[in-house]
Amino acid sequence: MEEHFFHIHPDNLDHNQFTLSKEETQHFLKSLREKKGDSLWLLDGLGTAYEGTVSGINPKSVSGIIKQAHPSYGESDCEIHLAIGLIKGNRMDFVLEKATELGVKSIQPLLLDRCVKKKLNMDRANRIVITAAKQSGRSYFPQVRDLINMTHWFDNFRGCYKIVCRFSGKKTLANALGKARIKVCMLIGPEGDFSENEIEQMKQAHVEFISLGPRRLRSETAAIVGISNLNQLIGDEG
């Protein structure tokens, strides 16, 4: 049987009972056309998934009974935090969606010296993340952080092993990691690449410069390839 995932706010959970929000109720009624007695999965976005059974349906709400809770459903023990310079158009949407599907714990948009795009619609970004998390069955929804510059990113992620994926990188991911890592911060540049000042900042902060191969990749491609390779190396087994 196909699994159907719905976002459930913790406020809409009461012991072993649940009530879907108006938006999720409409999705249940119009898109899936399910009925009483049907099973569904609920994702609280904080790290827990719930198996439930529908017991009540009306045009404004769908309610039911929680059968079982599943902590860390769809999640890995390892943490990947993505930081990426803002990129134009729907390419940023693509990164948000695919990074969520690939299991990152947070997404940090960066306003870098050579970014063409200067703003990010946070409401839209969070909607994309929630939709992608539901589609992929993730119990934890990655946090999309407020736009900052590189200096503030270094301040916010002290103690995290940092790598930057860049065409001029000298090491492979496998060589750079060397040993098992639980928490990795991956940095991706914008269309115009990093400025010389930003490159010097990364060197001063001892960021590892990583190569993803002999071809130049777009920012969104580098992000997806980097996260995928990192998942393989650090053991994304859930």
The length of the chain in residues reads 238
Torsion-angle region of 71 (φ positive above 0: left; ψ -120 to 50: alpha; else: beta) = beta
Q: Is-contact 117 92, C-beta < 8 A?
A: yes
72 Cβ neighbours under 8 A, 6+ residues apart? 47, 48, 139, 140, 238
pLDDT of the chain along its 238 residues, tens only? 568 899 999 999 998 999 999 999 998 888 777 678 889 999 999 999 999 999 999 888 999 999 999 999 999 888 999 999 999 989 999 999 999 999 999 999 999 999 999 999 999 999 999 999 999 999 999 999 999 999 999 999 888 899 999 887 778 888 877 665 678 999 999 999 999 999 999 999 999 999 998 999 999 999 999 999 999 888 665 5
DSSP strand pairing (39-43 vs 5-7): parallel
Radius of gyration of the chain (CA): 20
| Encoded amino acid at 114, one letter | R
Q: Which residues pair with 63 in a beta bridge?
A: 19, 56
Instruction: Compute the distance between CA of residue 41 and CA of residue 27 in angstroms, rounded to an integer.
Output: 13
Instruction: Compute the distance between CA of residue 164 and CA of residue 157 in angstroms, rounded to an integer.
Output: 14
| Encoded amino acid at 218, one letter | R
pTM of the model: 0.92
Structural domains of the chain ordered from first start: 5-71 (2.40.240.20), 79-234 (3.40.1280.10)
